Every structure is written in structure tokens, then in C-alpha cells.
């Protein structure tokens, strides 16, 4: 498709592809087919990721760092999340994309009350997201249940939760001591019980992520720096393309290496996740 700025991918590789749905993602989890997810924040990259076969696009609040140049995700607003979600949705529509779109609820947009969370989640769904993601366990379970009961699919996020970076004392591996291991396992079960259909597990030991994945009967775990035992994987797009402004976390692989296009790099990521070649557990010293 020609645009004033270049050419968008003509369409998905298989024209008969159906939109990715929650039942389809659950079916993949049950069959053991790895779910692939990448972040995207604009129309063109979302269309390229979709054409590469990525099933889920996360409009992550990591856009605060990679698009806005912020030091953390704490400064990202709901208005900004809606703007980027709308851009991603428009990009996918232009190429008849099929990806499942997850919008991050930013810091402060769901912490006050369940009603505030409902208003914020509604704004993201009206911007075109299919699912919202929120961080943390404990008190969030009540919020998750409230949203799910009102027809809003929710992805939870445990382990390193970047919106709590100040409380955590940095971007550190979580779930290393017995108390935090137990808390993570309980939080995961409680969030599943509250209705979370997906759950990002960020920077936790591979063995713990594998145990949590096995303990969850209905919720698909998506790992980032959590080993290969999860139901799927997610990476920040800029990291996997090797264009991170800072230092890449050691669990990230630069998929541009040896590829001649962004779409080929993303397709290589999809193939590596599906084939079990990524992540490489040797890279998990934690
Ligand atoms: O905002 C984001 O990109 C995320 C991923 C790191 C999972 O939450």
C-alpha cells in the first residue's frame, strides 16, 4: 500500500488469516503453541509486526521511554496511551491486520478506585484496544474482577512492574527470596481467579515462571526475561531491533542481526519463539 511516506506491508502473509481472539489465544495456550507479542506504538510498525505474524501487539507504556524519552513509565498519561493505541489500530486497519491489541493502563489511571479503572479501561477500549494491561497483585485483583465482570479482558503483569520502579529500587529481578516467591505464586493464582486471561511475567527466574505457568489452568503467561517456560513471549520492539538508547537487558536478542528488513527481523523473532530457540535459558543467570 503506497503512502506519502513509503510502502506499508501489502497485507498479512496469509490472506485468509482470521483476527486473533481470546479463545484462539487460550487454544494456543492449551495446545502448547507459543504466543508471540511485541510492543508497537505507531501505525507503520504495528502493520509490519502484524505482517510478520506476531499475534499480540502491546501498546506498552514503555513508549514513555522509547518514544517520549522519559526516564521511566511513571510520566505516561492516559491521553498519550489513547493516542498511540488509536495510531496502532489505524495502522492495522489499513492492512487488514489481525493482531490482538493490548493497551497499557498507565501509572495513576487505575490506582484510585475500581470506577477510575473502569473509566480508563473504557477509554483504551474506545481507542481500539481489545484488552487492557495493569501492573501488580494484591489490591489489583478486586480491580481486575470489576473490569472482567464488565466485559473488559485484562492482562495482569507481575514480577518487575516498571510503574513501581521507585518502590522496587530499580529495574531488578524479582522472586529470588522465599517470601517474594510465595507472594508471586499467590498473586498469580488470585489474578487468574479474578479473571485475568493473560499475565506478563517480567524478570523473574525461569524456574519460577515455569512453575507459575504450570499452576495456571486458564491464564496465559507471557514472559519477558523469565525463561522459555511461559505460554508466550514479549519484547519491547526497539530492544529486539537493537535500537535501544540505553543498555539492552541481557535477555534481549537483537533480531536485526543478519536480517535485511524490520519485517524479516520480526518474523525471525516469531519463528524463534515458536521453535523454542528464544529465549535462551543460558542467558538467565537469575
Ligand atoms: O510497557 C511495556 O512495554 C511492557 C512490556 C515490557 C511487557 O509492559
Give a three-class secondary structure readout of 145-163.
HHHHHCCCCEEEEEECCHH
Specify whether the CB–CB gap between 195 and 201 falls below 8 A.
Answer: no
3-state secondary structure at position 169: coil
pTM: 0.94
> Using 50, 70 and 90 to split pLDDT, how confident is the model at 144?
very high
Q: Is 202 a catalytic residue?
A: yes
Measured between alpha carbons, how far is 81 from 85 in angstroms, rounded to an integer?
6
Calculate how far, in angstroms, residue 261's C-alpha sits from the geometric centre of ligand 1: 23
Measured between alpha carbons, how far is 4 from 184 in angstroms, rounded to an integer?
48
223: left (phi over 0), alpha (psi -120 to 50) or beta: beta
For residue 241, what are the contacts with CB-CB under 8 A and spacing of at least 6? 254, 255, 256, 262, 265
Identify the weakest region by mean pLDDT among 9-13, 87-91, 98-102.
Answer: 9-13
pLDDT tens for each residue of 32-90 = 999 999 999 999 999 999 999 999 999 999 999 999 999 999 999 999 999 999 999 99
In ligand 1, which atom is closest to the CA atom of 234? 7
Calculate how far, in angstroms, residue 198's C-alpha sits from the geometric centre of ligand 1: 13
Compute CA distances 34 → 31, 42, 76, 215, 284, whole Å. 9, 25, 30, 17, 19
Ligand 1, atom 8, residue with closest C-alpha: 60
Amino acid at each position: 500500500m503506497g503512502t506519502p511516506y513509503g510502502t506499508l506491508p501489502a497485507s498479512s502473509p496469509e490472506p485468509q488469516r482470521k483476527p486473533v481472539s481470546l479463545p484462539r489465544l487460550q487454544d494456543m495456550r492449551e495446545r502448547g503453541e507459543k504466543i508471540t507479542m511485541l510492543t508497537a506504538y505507531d501505525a507503520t510498525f504495528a502493520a509490519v509486526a502484524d505482517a510478520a505474524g506476531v499475534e499480540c501487539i502491546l501498546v506498552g507504556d514503555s513508549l514513555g521511554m522509547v518514544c517520549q524519552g522519559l526516564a521511566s513509565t511513571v510520566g505516561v498519561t492516559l491521553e498519550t496511551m489513547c493516542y498511540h493505541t488509536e495510531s496502532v489500530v489505524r495502522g492495522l486497519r489499513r492492512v487488514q491486520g489481525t493482531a490482538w491489541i493490548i493497551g497499557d493502563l498507565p501509572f495513576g489511571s487505575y490506582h484510585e478506585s475500581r470506577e477510575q479503572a473502569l473509566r480508563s479501561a473504557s477509554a483504551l477500549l474506545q481507542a481500539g484496544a481489545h484488552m487492557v494491561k495493569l501492573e501488580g497483585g494484591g489490591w489489583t485483583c478486586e480491580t481486575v474482577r470489576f473490569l472482567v465482570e464488565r466485559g473488559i479482558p485484562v492482562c495482569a503483569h507481575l514480577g518487575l512492574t516498571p510503574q513501581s520502579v521507585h518502590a522496587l529500587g530499580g529495574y531488578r529481578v524479582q522472586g529470588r527470596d522465599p517470601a517474594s516467591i510465595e507472594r508471586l505464586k499467590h498473586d498469580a493464582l488470585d489474578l487468574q481467579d479474578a479473571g485475568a486471561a493473560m499475565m506478563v511475567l517480567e524478570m523473574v527466574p525461569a524456574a519460577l515462571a515455569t512453575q507459575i505457568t504450570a499452576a495456571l489452568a486458564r491464564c496465559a503467561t507471557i514472559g519477558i526475561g523469565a525463561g522459555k517456560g511461559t505460554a508466550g513471549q514479549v519484547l519491547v520492539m526497539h530492544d529486539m531491533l537493537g535500537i535501544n538508547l540505553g543498555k539492552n537487558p541481557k535477555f534481549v536478542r537483537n533480531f536485526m542481526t543478519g536480517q535485511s528488513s524490520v519485517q524479516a527481523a520480526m518474523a525471525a523473532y516469531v519463528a524463534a519463539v515458536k521453535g523454542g530457540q528464544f529465549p535462551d535459558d543460558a542467558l538467565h543467570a537469575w
